[in-house]
Amino acid sequence: MTVIGGRVWLFGDDLNTDVIHPPAFYSLDPDKVRRGLFHGYDPDIQPNIRPGDVVVAGRNFGCGSSRETSIRAIKLNGIGAVIAVDFARIFFRNATNNGLPCLTFADADDLARLRTGQRVRVHPEEATLRTEEDETIPLTPPGEFVRRIWAAGGLLELLPRANAPRP
Amino acid sequence: MTGRTISDKVIDAHTCDENDTSLYRRVNVDAVLGHDATTALLIDDFERHGLSIWDRDRVLLANDHFSPPATAERADISNRFLSFAREQAVPNLMLDRGICHQLLVEHRLCQAGGLIVGADSHTIMAGGIGACATGMGATDILFTLATGTTWMRRPETIAVRFRGTLPTQSGGRDVVLALLGILGESGGQYRSLEFHDDSGTRLCQDDRFAIANMAVEIGAKFGVFVPDEVTVDYYVKRDGELLGTLVRPDADARYERVIDLDLSALDPRVAKPWSPANVVPLRELEPVRITTAFLGSCASGRLSDLRDAAAELTDRKVHPGVRFVVIPASVEVFKQALRAGYVETLTEAGAIVNHSSCGACGGIDKGVLGADDVCVSSSNRNFRGRMGHWDSRTYLASARTVARAAVRGALTPDLYRDQGDE
């Protein structure tokens, strides 16, 4: 998994999937899904996201619904990684399955060292985040299971061949 | 070997690949649940990979989000879902029959001791009858549809023991709201909540479904009741006999935490905007006028909820300032409510009884909120913007409290004091 570089978008605790991506933007149309990201929370965020930007949040990021439109919206806007104190389990699985790196702080107190707009570089493989002030914030290394999905490029690439293309 | 909890046993019994990494184990599943909104997200990938369903008899698909569709875009999504289900020849395609989670527990596919996954977070509700069931996203479900397997991490278990006897005004919703008040939105994160009902009169099955359903609001992976005579009664009534396996924890099962909840002191609870964990006793709530009351959703649209609401509305009228929307959780529940006369009572009182579906719970249709709306709802989430406008406000409560508030036109701390009851 490559290094991600961009600006921080900082959020608090318990950011649920209805706030990440309001139900009104549920769609199979990628453009509609893309525009919905954080729309209720602050409609000015989405138009200003640049590829490689990083979402940083507190505890329990992504709690609530299992709708993968929340992951799609994050990916369609080019967000490169989500760094949080911890993640809700369905969100974490969905993100990992879709190749969106989700990492947690090795020390939750490091959340306070980050602010919106700050430039950072996230190294998923070495599990670090470097700030523009050249501080290195350690992240919890992902387990072997997560690395395997990352390496494959998503869960679908791990589908066994037994159920591969029919003739 | 230390004692095992229910989830330990169910995961062990379904493990199919011991050589997988120790933290995650590959498991066989007994059933897969999907609905229109989430299943539609996986169809393109499923077809692109040329996949087929591993065992179509073990799949239950239901169109509950868009039932019937309110917009042309949703009709297209619905049609995509339905044609996929028909092309795959899924025998258990439940067309316009109600909310998938209710349909699952009404179906033989859902058995005690089973391991079930579904493309919706509230799949966890099947834990109300002793199944280990959990919600996942579309990509996970695609993988399971193709292989009949998924990966699972063994969750730590929190035991929740109910003691005492629940006051008649309170129900399962008040119990789970009280638990949310204790554990918060992430207190059960990655955990299995194991409910031990040692209460005096035993919680009724509908109350158990409500509790298991909202275990996911605490972050839980499973919310499973230790099966007992209430469970057996349910299965015998449904299937004519007990077909599943009653999996109970060992006496020396290892729990991360044990929570004792005395139900006898539990009066009605309310979750204030915008978190299901923002819970206070109703008696401590600042009075708030409401514009909308919603009785429905997979959390609480069952027969006992409709019965409670009908009892509250008998010879009373819905407040003229309130729109009261009622949506039975399934067509089966609706038919039972028709036979019991609840639908007539509710309709006479001024409530609107809509077709079984998710309705306004996820901001879909049949009562979506505007900016100025204040809603009291029996649904499971009051996240900001979920039921409609970002500025709308939703309070979560039991069906009985929703009905009382609908009559009063307000949620008030004295809602249970001056209607001449208990």
Residue B416 has pLDDT above 50, yes or no: yes
Write out the two tokens for A129: 């985040």
**pLDDT tens, B378-405?**
999 999 999 999 999 999 999 999 999 9
Q: Could you tell me the pLDDT band of residue B23, with boundaries at 50, 70 and 90? A: confident
**Distance in angstroms (rounded) separating the CA atoms of residues A98 and A149:** 9
Q: Which CATH architecture has domain B6-261?
A: 2-Layer Sandwich (3.30)
B390–chain A Cβ distance below 8 A for any pair: yes
Judged by CB atoms closer than 8 Å, whether chains meet at B38 and A16 is answered as no
Q: How many CB atoms lie within 10 A of CB B140?
A: 24
Q: Do A94 and B137 touch (CB under 8 A)?
A: yes
Chain A residues with beta carbon closer than 8 angstroms to that of B384: 18-19, 40-41
Residue B113 contacts residue B11 (beta carbons within 8 Å): no
Domain ranges of chain A: 4-163
- Of A93, A33, A98, nearest to A69 by C-alpha is A33
Say if the Cβ atoms of B186 and A88 lie within 8 Å: yes
A139 vs A166, residue with greater confidence: A139
- In this predicted complex, what is the ipTM? 0.95
Asked if A23's CB is within 8 angstroms of B362's CB, the reply is: yes
Query: Could you give the CA distance from residue A67 to residue A138 in angstroms, rounded to a whole number?
Result: 30
Do the Cβ atoms of B119 and A66 come within 8 Å?
A: yes
pLDDT band at A161 (very low <50, low <70, confident <90, very high): low
Alpha-carbon distances, residue B381 vs A108, B105, B298 (angstroms)? 27, 21, 11
Q: What is the CA angle B379-B349-B311, rounded to 5? A: 65
Kindly give the pairing relationship between strand A4-10 and strand A54-57. parallel
DSSP string across B318-355: --TT-EEEE--SBHHHHHHHHHHTHHHHHHHHT-EEPP
Give the SS3 label for residue B12.
Answer: helix
Q: Which residues of A touch B147 (CB under 8 A)?
A: 159-160, 162-163
B361: left (phi over 0), alpha (psi -120 to 50) or beta: alpha
- List Cα–Cα distances, B403 to B68, B321, B374, B398, B408, in angstroms: 26, 14, 15, 9, 9
pLDDT of residue B81: 98
Does any CB of chain B come closer than 8 Å to the CB of residue A106? no
Question: What is the tens place of the pLDDT at every residue in B254-276?
Answer: 999 999 999 999 999 999 999 99
What is the distance between the alpha carbons of residues A100 and A55, in angstroms, rounded to a whole number? 11
A/B interface, count of CB pairs below 8 Å: 135
**Distance separating alpha carbons of residues B113 and B7, to the nearest angstrom:** 9
Q: Between chains, do A26 and B80 touch, taking CB under 8 Å as contact? A: no
Q: What is the pLDDT of residue A160?
A: 74
Q: Do domains B6-261 and B269-411 have the same CATH topology?
A: yes
Q: How confident is the model at residue B21 (pLDDT cuts 50, 70, 90)?
A: low
Determine the pLDDT at residue B420.
46
Give contacts of B189 with chain A, Cβ < 8 Å: 60, 86, 88-89
The letter for the amino acid at B331 is V
Min distance B227 CA to chain A CA atoms (Å): 26
- pLDDT band, very low/low/confident/very high, at A157 (cuts 50, 70, 90): very high
The answer to whether residue B370 neighbours chain A at the CB level (below 8 Å) is: no
Q: Hunting for tokens 């969905």 — which residue is that?
A: A94
3-state secondary structure of B284: helix
Query: For residue range A31-61, what is the model confidence (pLDDT) as tens digits?
Result: 999 999 999 999 999 999 999 999 999 999 9
Mean of the pLDDT values across residues A78-82?
98
Cβ contacts of B37 on chain A, cutoff 8 Å: 26, 67
| Dist CA B11 CA B7 (whole Å) | 6
Which of left, alpha, beta for B301 (phi over 0: left; psi -120 to 50: alpha)?
A: alpha
- Of A51-55, B62-66, B150-154, B412-416, the range with the lowest mean pLDDT is B150-154
In angstroms, rounded to a whole number, what is the distance separating the alpha carbons of residues B153 and B142?
19
Q: How far apart are alpha carbons B129 and A124 in whole angstroms?
A: 41
Structural contact between residues B19 and B146, judged by C-beta atoms closer than 8 angstroms:
no
Class of domain A4-163: alpha beta
**3-class secondary structure, B157:** strand
Q: Kindly report, residue by residue over B123-155, the tens digit of the pLDDT.
A: 999 999 999 999 999 999 999 999 999 999 899
Structural domain B269-411, CATH architecture: 2-Layer Sandwich (3.30)
Segment 53-92 of chain B within 8 Å of chain A by CB: 54, 73, 76-77, 80
| DSSP track, chain A | ---EEEEEEE--S---HHHHS-GGG--S-HHHHHHTTTTTT-TTHHHH--TT-EEEE-SSBT-S---THHHHHHHHTT--EEEES-B-HHHHHHHHHTT--EEEBSSGGGGGG--TT-EEEEETTTTEEEETT--EEEBPPPPHHHHHHHHHTSGGGG--GGGS---
Mean pLDDT of all residues in chain B?
96
- CA dist., res. B188 & res. B321, Å (int): 38
* N-to-C CA span, chain A: 33
Q: Where are the domains of chain B?
A: 6-261, 269-411
Q: Chain A, 23-62: which have a CB under 8 Å from a chain B CB? A: 23-24, 26-29, 40-41, 59-60
User: Among A71, A161, A163, which would you mutate to test the B interface (most chain B Cβ atoms within 10 Å of its Cβ)?
Assistant: A163
Averaged pLDDT, B287-307: 98
Nearest to B189 among A60, A97, A163 (CB): A60
A93: nearest CB among B140, B185, B381: B140
